[in-house]
């Protein structure tokens, strides 16, 4: 069964960076794009970007360009999202999500999600 297991909660000070991991299992890691979506408390979903685990190619939402980096280690089927220059506005739950499912692969269709990782930015 497909699973995405994320790292635990993190607390950072303003100006710092955070790196969240997402370990995939139950499928061939390099076959499916990993996307990152965040959600502030009581707010909606916000797309951050995508990464192709095979090529390492990435695409980021304009809002995060310059301070987000999505990487991967294929040897252990793990994707990473690092966000720098944190402010209190970055306090949110960060989700990794696998694009596609059993027989579909459209943009924005995420058949599998991690459990989320809470990142708190506070002085």
Partner 1 sequence: QSVLTQPPSASGTPGQRVTISCSGSSSNIGSNPVNWYQQLPGTAPKLLMYNNSQRPSGVPDRFSGSKSGTSASLAISGLQSEDEADYYCAAWDVRLNGVVFGGGTKLTVL
Write out the residues near partner 1 by the rule CB under 8 A: 35, 37, 44-47, 49, 59-62, 95, 97, 101-102, 104, 106-111, 113-116
Question: From the CB of 47, what's the least distance to partner 1, in Å?
Answer: 4
Tokens 């916000």, residue located: 46
- To partner 1, the closest distance from the beta carbon of 75 in angstroms equals 26
Residue (15 or 51) nearer to partner 1, CB: 51
Identity of the residue, 9 or 16, whose beta carbon is nearer to partner 1 in the bound complex = 9
Sheet containing strand 18-25, edge to edge, reads 3-6, 18-25, 78-83, 68-73
Q: How far apart are CA 65 and CA 119, in angstroms?
A: 19
d(CA 26, CA 93): 24
Of 117 and 121, the one with the shorter C-beta distance to partner 1 is: 117
């Amino acid at each position: 069964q497909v699973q995405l297991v994320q790292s635990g909660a993190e607390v950072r000070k303003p100006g710092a960076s955070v790196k969240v991991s997402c370990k995939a299992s139950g499928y061939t890691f390099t076959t499916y794009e990993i996307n990152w979506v965040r959600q502030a408390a009581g707010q909606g979903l916000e797309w951050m970007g995508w990464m192709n685990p095979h090529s390492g190619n990435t695409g980021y939402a304009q809002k995060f360009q310059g301070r987000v980096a999505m990487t991967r280690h294929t040897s252990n089927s793990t994707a990473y999202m690092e966000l720098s220059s944190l402010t209190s506005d970055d306090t949110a739950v960060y989700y990794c999500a696998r694009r596609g499912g059993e027989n579909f692969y459209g943009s924005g269709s995420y058949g599998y999600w991690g459990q989320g990782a809470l990142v708190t930015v506070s002085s």
